[in-house]
Structure 1
Amino acid sequence: MNILNHIIPLDFENVIKLPDSHKWNDDHRSPVCRFPHVQVPLIDLASPHAASLIRQASEEWGVFQVKSHGIPMSLLNQVENQTRRLFALPEKRKLLAIRSPGGSRGYGMARISSFFPKLLWSEGFTIIGSPVEHAVQLWPHDHSSFCEIMEECQEEMNGLSEKLMSLMFCSVGLTNQDVKWFKPTNVCKNPQQRVLHLNSYPACPDPDQAMGLAPHTDSSLLTLLYQGNIAGLQVHRENMGWVPVQPVDGSLVVTVGDLMHIISNGRFKNCLHRAVVNRTNHRVSIAYFYGPPRDAKVSPLMKMIDTDHHPLYRPVTWNEYLHIKGTYFNKALELIRLNVDTKLG
């Protein structure tokens, strides 16, 4: 996918007609669920039943929204404002922070783009650790506020991710000892990477033929998403199709990633999702990807395995899995899946 780092994203502000390069056919734009009453679960983390509700949502949906999550609304507003500030820059300015060949940080197109026949109506900016390196390119004399707000967001999102992980593990009878592998033993050598990704979906002249973000699952354990008050996220549910995730004031969307699906031995669904665009509003969203140290070995947890539930996947480090996902995309889980007849022991 490195070739994408050499493709200049479209200057969306100056496009009057949707280019053929961005026109998706109906085969890739399957219809939305026709059951308007179907809604993604909304869970109040202050509820004494939060853990069991999260388990149910993770098993049935692989996605849920949370409120009473503890992240100040004032911070989320600041993050959204800074995100809009970034994407409102002239294209020439944004290109100063374009990802390096093979790199993951900075400005560019969605990294999944190469797996699809058409381009996406979106642009992104990825922050791993400190954003200073690229922020100084965007605002040589006025980048400190952007950096401070994004770093505070990373800290808050990381704390909430750990809380959600604890609730999920407790809901299926796991203890901290059972999952000690996902915490770094040496923070300096094996840090947990705090990946914050800013998404921009400009208003589109022909949204019915465009795609903001194509269907995919995340490689992470969990992904937290703040989508503001403009709808666009859709999740796929078996036998229903694509279900819109309606924004709820102050809430965050939590999606189960591939690694959580692996360690739960398939009990928790990894969420297939996409983003659509609209004709009038510029939508932005902020995603935080939570995962273990790159060298942590991930496999179905022993308490998820018994004589009726054989291990579904072989052990894999997150680094190895990211490489497989980056090469084979939606076939990654299939490639590490064990034969269903694999015996225990």
Structure 2
Amino acid sequence: MVALSKPLIEQFLVKQSKPNINPLIIPDIPLIDLSKPESKQHLVKACQDFGFFKVVNHGVPSKFINKLETEAVKFFASPVSIKERFGPPNPFGYGNKSIGRNGDVGWVEYLLLNAKPESDYPENFQGIVNDYVTSVKTMACEILELLADEMKLQPRNVFSKLLMDEQSDSVFRVNHYPPCPEFQENEKNGRKLVGFGEHTDPQIISVLRSNNTSGLEILLRDGSWMSVPPDSESFFINVGDSLQVMTNGRFKSVKHRVVANGTKSRLSMIYFGGPPLSEKIAPLPSLMQGEEDSLYKEFTWFEYKKSAFNSRLADNRLGLFEKIIA
């Protein structure tokens, strides 16, 4: 990689937040075994308290994970001229450093792909991505149906049907955070290298898998950032903004970010389960208790997606759709 000048590196750096001085109040990330009958109640609690959790016994075959990671590593190790044949993203394709169109940058290169089976992918990705996405989507739908069960919602597929719909607007992203040797001096000065800036995911649910390199952080309610220990055998699940709205704020869409480092490469693969573009997103009437007010205005997924696309990563995207309760 070409050596970077100091002014260029500066745009990727943030000051490290003060560490939580009391390790006793650092929460554990919920770990949920999907094979256990009690997983339903644990899932609901995790969505309410964190909006983020880890699942094991997820049913996604390791061969699908390994094949896709192998091809992704090969792709990102290719010459820049090869990778740029698949860019710039519009919205799908290969991107490097620039995230979105509103000035966000990160120490990352990525492939953003349509999750539909008939989509065009780089060579060697086609069947592998389809196998992986199909399996991960099945797991995501199982989680959404377990949540509906525990919340006594009818029909049971009230959430999952949006992902299973033929018009589902779901996307798949592979992120590569390369090493940055020029960063090591700044690391000693208490600064972090931003791989992907702080944000919430606008869709219904996100399913993340990464290699064994750390970097993912979630924002706790006290305003501090918590590092998520890597685990290449498990999946991490994020509640998306749309699911927060559909549950009228019961489930929380957690703000998260990725920090890169000077010596290790990190690879992550994320399935973002989204509804059809025409789907109306609003709190479910069956969840509204007594005189409970809706916290959000109704909107279509197209409207919200367009609004999110026109915002910065760190913006409160749901703010524009919140109701002012007298």
TM over 0.5: same fold?
yes
2:102 aligned to 98, 103, 114, which one? Answer: 114
State the distance in 2 between where 1:17 and 1:249 align: 34
1:61 aligned to 50, 67, 88, which one? Answer: 50
Report % sequence identity.
Answer: 26
- Give TM-score scaled by structure 2 length: 0.88
> Where does structure 2 lack aligned partners over 5 or more consecutive residues?
none
State the distance in 2 between where 1:130 and 1:296 align: 21
Q: 1:209 to 1:46 in 2, by over 3 A?
A: closer
- Matched residue SS, 1:183: helix
1:126 aligned to 107, 112, 118, which one? Answer: 112
- Say whether 1:204 aligns with 2:189: no
- Say whether 1:176 aligns with 2:176: no
- Say whether 1:297 aligns with 2:297: no
Q: 1:299 to 1:210 in 2, by over 3 A?
A: same
State the distance in 2 between where 1:74 and 1:318 align: 34
1:279 aligned to 255, 259, 262, which one? Answer: 262
- Matched residue SS, 1:328: coil
User: Quick one: which amino acid aligns to residue 202 of structure 1?
Assistant: P
- Matched residue SS, 2:82: helix
Alpha-carbon deviation of 1:184?
8.0
State the distance in 2 between where 1:274 and 1:39 align: 18
Q: What do you get for the CA RMSD once the two structures are aligned?
A: 2.4
* Alignment-derived partner of residue 337 in structure 1: 322
1:193 aligned to 169, 181, 197, which one? Answer: 169
* Alignment-derived partner of residue 99 in structure 1: 88
- Matched residue SS, 1:92: helix
* Alignment-derived partner of residue 20 in structure 1: 8
1:310-329 map, 5 Å: 310-329=293-312
Q: 1:241 to 1:265 in 2, by over 3 A?
A: same
- Say whether 1:152 aligns with 2:131: yes
Q: 1:248 to 1:308 in 2, by over 3 A?
A: farther
1:164 aligned to 143, 157, 160, which one? Answer: 143
- Say whether 1:231 aligns with 2:214: yes
Q: 1:131 to 1:64 in 2, by over 3 A?
A: same
Alpha-carbon deviation of 1:332?
2.4
Alpha-carbon deviation of 1:220?
0.7
Q: 1:40 to 1:148 in 2, by over 3 A?
A: same
- Give TM-score scaled by structure 1 length: 0.83
State the distance in 2 between where 1:230 and 1:82 align: 18
> Where does structure 1 lack aligned partners over 5 or more consecutive residues?
1-12, 136-142
User: Quick one: which amino acid aligns to residue 201 of structure 1?
Assistant: Y
Q: 1:22 to 1:148 in 2, by over 3 A?
A: farther
* Alignment-derived partner of residue 85 in structure 1: 74
User: How many residues are treated as equivalent by the alignment?
Assistant: 313
Alpha-carbon deviation of 1:186?
7.3
User: Quick one: which amino acid aligns to residue 254 of structure 1?
Assistant: I
